[in-house]
């Protein structure tokens, strides 16, 4: 069964600094994908970044990068040069290739301080 764990209910970061949001997962399927989404107070779910289980390199998208450590089953999101607009809830998700549906973590609320 799929399982996603986000151990940080809330995080604070100073504007312009980098922050790491933790995510660990558990699966027995060798083929899976890991995703991060941002949910601002407006409620929409915004896709940020994707990492495939067979990808050799860590995914990057602008200021977002995914620190993928397969042996540790972790997929931490790193946000560089934080901005006030980064304040939101962040969800880690995993989809096993055979399952077809995603499992979401409980989320981390990030607050960027000016």
Partner 1 sequence: SAVISQKPSRDICQRGTSLTIQCQVDSQVTMMFWYRQQPGQSLTLIATANQGSEATYESGFVIDKFPISRPNLTFSTLTVSNMSPEDSSIYLCSVQGAPEETQYFGPGTRLLVL
Establish if 40 lies at the interface with partner 1 (CB under 8 A).
no
Establish if 24 lies at the interface with partner 1 (CB under 8 A).
no
What single-letter DSSP state applies at residue 13? E
Establish if 107 lies at the interface with partner 1 (CB under 8 A).
yes
Establish if 3 lies at the interface with partner 1 (CB under 8 A).
no
Classify residue 44 as exposed, middle or buried by CB count within 10 Å of its CB (0-12, 13-18, 19+): exposed
Give dist(CA 83, CA 79) in Å, integer: 9
In terms of DSSP H, where are the helices of the chain? Answer: none
Give the nearest distance from C-beta 68 to partner 1 in angstroms: 16
Sites for partner 1 among residues 48-67 (CB under 8 A): 50, 52
Give the nearest distance from C-beta 15 to partner 1 in angstroms: 25
């Amino acid at each position: 069964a799929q399982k996603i764990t986000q151990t940080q209910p809330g995080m604070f970061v100073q504007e312009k600094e980098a922050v790491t949001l933790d995510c660990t997962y558990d699966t027995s399927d060798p083929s899976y994908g890991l995703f991060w989404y941002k949910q601002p107070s407006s409620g929409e779910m915004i896709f940020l970044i994707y990492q495939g289980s067979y990808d050799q390199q860590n995914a990057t998208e602008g200021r977002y990068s995914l620190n993928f450590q397969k042996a540790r089953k972790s997929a931490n999101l790193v946000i560089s040069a934080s901005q006030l607009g980064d304040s939101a809830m962040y969800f880690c998700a995993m989809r096993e290739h055979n399952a077809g549906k995603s499992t979401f973590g409980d989320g981390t609320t990030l607050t960027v301080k000016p």
